[in-house]
Structure 1
Amino acid sequence: MSEKQVLFSRPLPIAVFIVFALIADQIIKYLVELYLPFNQAVHVVPMLALYRTYNYGVAFSMLSGMEGWFIVGMRLTVCAFVLWLWKRTPKDRFFAHFGYALIIAGALGNLVDRLLFGYVIDYILFYTETWSFAVFNLADTFITIGAGAIILDELLHAKKADR
């Protein structure tokens, strides 16, 4: 019996999705640059603020002291690795393929910022009176949800294999 091919296991749909996600990320970052004050919280609802800042590293400002080209190379390596995983993953694994698309879109979104500005534009802040999470952006959200989708796919696949 042949496996059922899911939408994001095919090159054209995944490419179109990545391009649209990348465009959405860049439009939002452009609007953030135009309208949000720098390093000032604009409270949206309790525990959520828009807060424009610049990230010179990678996720959560890790490696912020590293040379910019090292970070660019690392992001390109991640994209190449995820593409390699995408090609090797069985074509019926929806959540894995969806996750790969999200991770690539997020990595490319932050890579565009890094290449254009030398930093990544972040603007989403979750906080309480005594704690705040790292400031992040839509591209980071794509990467996080993508990783979650891949983990979910692995859990669902492992559950199927146990039957």
Structure 2
Amino acid sequence: MIRKLLMGNLTTVLIAVMLDQLIKAIVVATMPLGSAIPLLPFLALLHARNTGIAFSMFSEFGDVGLSVLAGAVLLIVLFLWVKTPAERKLTHFGLAIIVGGAIGNLIDRVRLGYVVDYVYFHTPAFDFAVFNLADAFITVGAIIILLDEFVVAGLGNRKSADVGRRSD
């Protein structure tokens, strides 16, 4: 079971990295920097460069500092992943897409010195950050882990407690 879980996790990471890098390559090859393609009144593809991390924070750290920071966070996530029990499949999936997203952005940071972003949500009154698929993987992975921890595991604990009470 552990081998199957490990292979599934590694496959998920590889697919996430490949999708992220493929889409970024298409954006770079087909859209000049700063150009936008409106898709919906609130959504556009916008070719941008992010020299920081999420929402361009910490851009003053420079390429090496941000790469080291991203690598450290990746190591912490990998440590948590190894410590996660095998039966927590949803958490494993969440961690796999987080790792895939982190690797995708780290590849950009090391190779280019910035991260390619292209998804732009906006309204006339609200201007959201530009982000990419790797950022979405990281965010969705974190949400999956939280849901698994607080909702799914919580429901399992309540069912176990109910069964325990009934047998008394």
- Could you say what the CA RMSD is over the residues aligned between the two structures, in angstroms? 1.6
Unaligned runs of 5+ in 1: none
Counterpart in the other structure of 2:26: 31
How far did 1:109 drift? 0.3
Deviations 1:51-85 (CA, angstroms, capped at 9, x unpaired):
01100011110101112111111111111111111
- What amino acid is the match of 2:117? D
Paired amino acid for 2:116: I
Structure 2: state its 5+ residue gaps. 160-168
Q: Following superposition of structure 1 onto structure 2, how do residues 87-126 of structure 1 map, counting pairs within 5 Å?
A: 87-126=82-121
User: Which protein is bigger by CA-based radius of gyration?
Assistant: 2
TM-score computed with the length of structure 1 as normaliser: 0.91
TM norm structure 2: 0.88
Q: Is 1:42 paired with 2:42?
A: no
Q: CA deviation at 1:6?
A: 8.2
Question: Equivalents in 1 of 2:117, 2:64: separation in Å?
Answer: 20
Matched residues in 2 for 1:157 and 1:66: separation? 38
SS in 2 for 1:130: coil
Larger CA deviation: 75-84 vs 133-142: 75-84
Contact 1:6 1:93 in 2 (8 A): no
Partner residue of 1:21 out of 16, 36, 43: 16
Alignment-derived partner of residue 163 in structure 2: none
Aligned residues: 158
Partner of 1:144: 139
| Secondary structure of the corresponding residue to residue 114 of structure 1 | helix
**Offset of residue 158 of structure 1:** 2.1
Of Structure 1 and Structure 2, the greater helix share is in: 2
Alignment match of 1:82 (pick from 68, 73, 77): 77
Partner of 1:160: 156
Whole-angstrom CA distance in 1 between matches of 2:90 and 2:72? 22
Whole-Å separation in 1 of the counterparts to 2:90 and 2:70: 22
